[in-house]
Amino acid sequence: MQKSLAYIENATGLKGSPAAFNEPLAHAGHYAVFPRVATKGNGHVIYGEILPNGERYLYDAQTGKTMSWEEMLKTYSGGAKTFLLKGN
């Protein structure tokens, strides 16, 4: 997960900070979401975005699908680590 986050930071020029994506008062912005399969750990990354109006989106570039937090948890039963991506 750290290598993937470092790659995202280098590619975008943004810095990832741990932040809860699914909390009601989560900050608007771009997120790197690392879902976990309970038996395998964090081996995948999903793009997340929270709009200023509070709408949330998750996009899995590998499958081309958007999903809600709840849908993501059905697929990745181990939860997720989330990082808010901000400029330096």
Each residue of 35-71: pLDDT tens digit? 987 666 556 899 999 999 999 999 998 889 999 999 9
Q: How far apart are the first and last CA of the chain?
A: 21
Residue-level pLDDT at 11: 93
Angle at CA of residue 17, ends 82 and 48, nearest 5°: 40
If residue 31 lies in a helix (H) or strand (E), which one and from where to where?
A: strand 29-37
- The b-or-e profile of 18-28 (16+ CB within 10 A means b, else e) is ebebbeeebee
Query: 84, 29 in Cβ contact below 8 A?
Result: yes
Domain chopping of the chain, boundaries: 2-87
pTM score, whole prediction: 0.87
Residue-wise pLDDT tens digits, 7-31: 999 999 999 999 999 998 899 999 9
